Amino acid sequence: MTTSRSKQAPRHEKPLPVYAVYGGDPFLQQQALSEITRVVLGGERDNMAFVEFDGPTAALADVLDECRSMSLLSPVRLVCVRDADEFITNFRKELEKYLEVPSPTGVLVLVCTRWDAGWNLYKRVEQVGGNISCRPPKPWNVPEWVVGHAKDVYGCDLPMQAAKRLTDLAGYELGRLDMELAKLSTYIHPRTAIRTGDIEELVGATREEKVFGIIDAIASRQPRQALVLWDQVLGTDPQAEHRSIGGLAYGFRKLGEMKRLLGQGLSAAEAAKQVGDSWHAGELKTQAERFSLPQWQEHLVKLLQIDVAAKTGLGTVRSAVEKLIVELCAAP
């Protein structure tokens, strides 16, 4: 648990009177809340010492009454206000006043998205409690997070290249990546080193086959087939769109690299070996030669633009990829 006071809360840390858990990533928020619960209650949430409020409907008096009430089961009561942005907006001054002399028997947790370092309330929490950032890493920093998370949580060594491959297949949602790491750590036991081959075998094989089918259809100028496969990919799960962007990008990078190596005079077998796919040398050569190297690089840029637009609310992956498929199939 990362607070303003320390990079990670030690196992013997005493509860602080208030924590602000802020940022938009639900997985990191849940991790932080679980760690606070461990520190305050020993990890046990199913008892009368844990009280939870819904921020938009919570009354300040009710929340503070719970903070000031003694628990029969614990010397400290943990009071959590979820989705607390509106609650904070409505009662910021009152919360500042409460934190001048916080209750010794209650720990208040505010789980919110917006938490401004310029607020007096932020500064007050900084003084007497803990500010815990749950903002997710930027997409390009997610593989680094995956490497650290695999080591810290699952005791597994994960090379950076394997972490990048995992994000290609599973996307950038931290909760999904944690789930895949949990499966991988069990799958490789008693080994502790996760290899790229383990990821290839266990994570998203069926979806990946369809994604590469899309790339093959694009390279063969078959827009109907590519669109049918794209529709099937989107039907796999709610997060398929963003994970499939990663899969398409991985395929485009592989074919662009194949094109570059062929241009250097390497044989199809030698080039395929270097891109890590010796079994499909002839197929990769055929696909790679459908576009020039600058075109493959341009395709990657367009995928990145689609991904960024979707993450910033300026477009949707589904329609943008459909448009790109038609455009690439019609390219000279």
Average pLDDT over residues 176-186: 90
Look at the chain and report how many structural domains it folds into: 3
Side chain identity at 294, as an amino acid letter?
P
Q: Tokens representing 32?
A: 């932080």
Q: CA distances (Å), 207 to each of 85, 164, 232, 244, 273, in order?
A: 38, 17, 9, 8, 23
Same domain (yes/no): 128, 144 = no
Long-range contacts of 6-10 (CB under 8 A, 24+ apart): 9/35, 9/39, 9/130
CATH number of the domain that residue 271 is part of = 1.20.272.10
Asked whether residue 9 is assigned to any structural domain, the reply reads no
**Which has more pLDDT, 186 or 235?**
186
pLDDT at 15 over 60: yes
Q: CA distances (Å), 111 to each of 244, 260, 286, 291, in order?
A: 31, 49, 53, 49
Which stretch of DSSP H or E encloses residue 133? strand 130-133
Same domain (yes/no): 143, 118 = no
The pLDDT tens digits of the residues spanning 48-81 come to: 789 999 999 999 999 999 999 887 767 889 999 9
Asked whether residue 181 is assigned to any structural domain, the reply reads yes
Residue 47's pLDDT band, with cuts at 50, 70 and 90, is low
CATH number of the domain that residue 159 is part of = 1.10.8.60
Strands 50-54 and 77-82: parallel
Asked whether residue 7 is assigned to any structural domain, the reply reads no
Same domain (yes/no): 197, 273 = no
Residue with tokens 């490497």: 147
Asked whether residue 236 is assigned to any structural domain, the reply reads yes
For residue 183, the enclosing domain spans: 139-202
Same domain (yes/no): 26, 128 = yes
Domain end among 133, 153, 188: 133
* pTM score over 0.85: no
